[in-house]
Structure 1
Amino acid sequence: MGMAYYLSKKLPNVIANNIEQCLFETLGPSGVDDWNKLFYVVHPGGPAVLKRIAEKLGLGRDKLKASWDVLSEYGNMWSPSVLFALDEMRKRSKEEGKTTAATEGLKWGVLLAFGPGLTVETVVLRSIAVDSA
């Protein structure tokens, strides 16, 4: 039977207009203020959401590559989407011979997930060494 849902056309802007505040609240105590020094695992809720987040934070498209790849391959799968993006990043890092599980070999990152009502979950991530086996 499946589920049908409709997202407001305002959603990408609502997320983008509030995402920086979410990052400041989460990462402020650590002193991080350059968003390009982090790796990103973002819920691939749709192309407009990813584009607006990248624009608002001043990120290049490659910063959200794992999320774009999952969106392209599977679409928006609701909650599990962000875990697929995290796994995509881990796999790619290992294939590229990175020393950490994050793309670009960065140690610190952030996971952003979006949910009903509109909720934003922000999780600080610390990459671990990639298993070479």
Structure 2
Amino acid sequence: MHRDVPLHVSSAVGGIVKRALEENTANGRVPDVNEEVFWILHTGGRGIADGVEGRLGLREEKLAATREVMRQYGNTRSSSIFLVMEEMRRTSGRKGLRTAGEGLEWRMLIAFGPGLTLETMLLRALPSNNTTA
């Protein structure tokens, strides 16, 4: 990966995330990115995680699942989004949280790919009584 990729990803992510949250939440009220949204970030490397975290003003623990998957599997797995979701589900289950997404309702999934495409998906978590299954 080119050394400038983290800079390009972090530069673009702020506007994309803001627009996704504004356009897809009820009553025009944008969820707080640290208190009401959990984050699933493609494991593209520490530079990307640090850049996204800094650009969005995320607390360190918001990308904990992404960083754990990077620690376990490295940065090059195309299935990393699913691994991050599974890590988050396991952690939420151990803590007995209301949803598999850190107990929160909103999920922001961010991935990137060839030609430096940046993709986002805003998801909504349903409450679950069994997040460990």
5+ unaligned residues in a row in structure 1: which ranges? 1-6
Q: Which amino acid aligns with 2:127?
A: A
**Considering only aligned residues, what root-mean-square deviation do their CA atoms show, in Å?**
1.4
**Per-residue CA distance 1:28-79 (angstroms, 9 max, x = gap):** 2223263223100000110010011000111111000000000000012332
**Kept after mapping to 1: 8 A contact 2:92/2:100:** yes
**Kept after mapping to 2: 8 A contact 1:79/1:115:** no
- Cα distance in 2 for residues equivalent to 1:77 and 1:84: 12
Query: What are the residue-to-residue correspondences of 1:14-29 with 2, within 5 Å?
Result: 14-29=8-23
Q: Which amino acid aligns with 1:23?
A: V
Query: SS of 2:89's equivalent?
Result: helix
In percent, how many aligned pairs have the same letter? Answer: 36
- Aligned length in residues: 126
List structure 1 segments (4+ residues) > 6 angstroms apart after TM superposition.
Answer: none
- Cα distance in 2 for residues equivalent to 1:8 and 1:33: 33
**Kept after mapping to 2: 8 A contact 1:113/1:121:** yes
Equivalent in the alignment of 2:48: 49
TM-score (normalizing by structure 2): 0.88
